Amino acid sequence: MSFGGFPLGGKGLGGTSSSSNEPLTPEQQQMQMVKTIQAGMESCPVKTVISGGMGFGLGAVFGLFMASMSYDTPMTGLPGAPALQNLPLKEQLKRGFKDMGQRSYSTGKNFALVGSIFAGTECCIEGFRAKNDMYNGISAGCVTGGFWRRRRDPRRRLLGVQALRRLVLLLTII
């Protein structure tokens, strides 16, 4: 099979050498694998997907932690429903774990969205500018902050832009 633009020149990972039909040596196969991985890591779609996945994982852990911390005070459920502390232990655990799962998933989705938008935007800006410097990240932070607050009024949207820009600048300097 031949895939145009593929770093292996259209050959599979266990492909043959370009001069004849003899199989590649293990060292040549390893070099092809390294080139393939590097080419993948340099592409914007791969960076975006990886950042989204890692953001989801980090957000899920963060959401789980934050949800577990909210049970140190008595919870009140829906109006007219019995308070959580008055329910049997099994029901308390069931509701607590359900809430922790929902919060973990929700926070994970938000982190995935922000991470993928930031990484994709930064990669695109870097491609357009043909430079790799701190201004790419700062610009991507502005775009991500604006997108993150897109449903708010213009003043709050501007605050989101400034907040993420400053966070990226701080992390770049450190």
Report which of residues 34 and 164 the model is more confident about.
Answer: 34
Tell me the whole-structure pTM to 2 decimals: 0.71
Q: What is the pLDDT of residues 88-128, one digit of tens each?
A: 888 888 888 888 899 999 999 999 999 999 999 999 999 89
Q: What is the pLDDT of residues 22-76, one digit of tens each?
A: 788 889 899 999 998 888 888 889 999 999 999 999 999 999 988 887 765 555 5
CB 59 within 8 A of CB 112: yes
Which pLDDT score is estimated for 24? 85
Taken in order 142, 145, 147, 150, is the CA torsion positive or negative?
Answer: negative
Hey, where are the domains in the chain?
A: 43-71+84-132, 136-173
